[in-house]
Structure 1
Amino acid sequence: MSKIYETVVINEKGTSGFIETDDGLKLDVSSPTDPSRTGPNPEQFMGMAWSTCLNATMQVMLNAKRTPKESRVRVVVTFNKEESKPGYYFTMNAYASVEGYTVEETLKLANQAHGQCPVSKLIEANNHVHVHAEAY
């Protein structure tokens, strides 16, 4: 393993507190179930991480093919309550689009990128994670 980058993120007080990175970024965090709090919530962080990483991977693949195109990844993260046991889970759906590509071409590229994207590798085994394509 050849480390490229490392960061440390600390959370205090869960969604009633804040996160802070080792390079000084500090954000209040919230819960979608508590409207009195401001700041991003875990669902938003998951969507930000996956949409950015999956789109960046698609861009690398497009550039490698020498076909640079504009692309976009929209991620919908849903917070769900378990029905058969205590707890919660996320459902995550990524909707990829590429300028000038058909939906079928986009889906092929998005699925290939999903196989290579580091965030996708973290979440791909979850049966609540899906990749889709849509028109640009």
Structure 2
Amino acid sequence: MTVSPVYHVSSTSTGGGRDSEVVSESGRIDLVLAPPVEMGGNGDGSNPEELFSAGWAACFMGALRLMAKNKGATLTDETAVKVTVGIGKDDADGGFGLTADIDVYLPGLETAAAAELAQAAHGFCPYSKATRGNIAATVTSRV
């Protein structure tokens, strides 16, 4: 795959890994990070999985809107994409791995059309493409 970037962004993490701060070059993101309680932390900050799920949801929504436009489908203001990212032990290598569940809510569409649109967005979304084959991801559409 050859990509010709039209935009670049940088963020820097300082501190102790999951107990740290992350700041984007633009300054629009300036967050304290903390491991979630489920991973032994105090949960008093964001975490990489939360940031990843937010970025993926926004990216997927953009892909969904473009696919809808290309297919002549109309999306309502209630259309929503929820990406749930999980982290846990990777049984294959003893490290950690990620999972993702992508829930696409497409009110006003027929069930088959919603499923087709969600799959088309999953095929087009840069986050989905970047993780394909690396993260167990499921896409569910509902109307």
> TM-score interval w.r.t. the shorter chain?
0.7 to 0.9
What is the Cα deviation at residue 110 of structure 1? 0.9
Task: State the superposition RMSD in angstroms.
Answer: 1.8
Q: Contact (CA 8 Å) 1:104, 1:133: kept in 2 or not?
A: no
Contact 2:98–2:135 (8 Å) recurs in 1: no
Aligned-partner Cα distance in 1 for 2:34–2:67: 35
Whether 1:44 and 2:44 are equivalent positions in the alignment is: no
Whether the 8 Å contact between 1:94 and 1:130 is mirrored in structure 2 is: yes
**Can you list the C-alpha shifts for 1:28-71, whole angstroms capped at 9, x where unaligned?**
11212244242211111121111111111111222234433122
- Measured at CA, do residues 74 and 37 of structure 1 come closer, stay the same or move farther in structure 2, by a change above 3 Å? closer
Matching residue of 2:19: 16
Which amino acid in the other structure matches residue 11 of structure 2?
Answer: V
What is the match of residue 98 of structure 1?
106
Equivalence for 1:61:
67
What is the aligned residue count?
Answer: 135
Unaligned runs of 5+ in 2: none
Where 2:23 maps in the other structure, the secondary structure is: strand
State the identity %.
24
Aligned structure 1 segments of 4 or more residues deviating by more than 4 angstroms: none
Select between 7-16 and 79-88 the one with higher mean Cα deviation: 79-88
In the alignment, residue 4 of structure 1 is paired with which amino acid?
Answer: V
Write the distance in 1 (CA, Å) between the matches of 2:8 and 2:93: 36
Native 8 Å contact 1:95 1:133 kept in 2: yes
TM-score (norm 1): 0.87
Segments of 5+ residues of structure 1 without an aligned counterpart are none
Measured at CA, do residues 17 and 125 of structure 1 come closer, stay the same or move farther in structure 2, by a change above 3 Å?
A: same
Corresponding position of 1:27: 31
TM-score (norm 2): 0.83
2:112 equivalent to 1:110? no
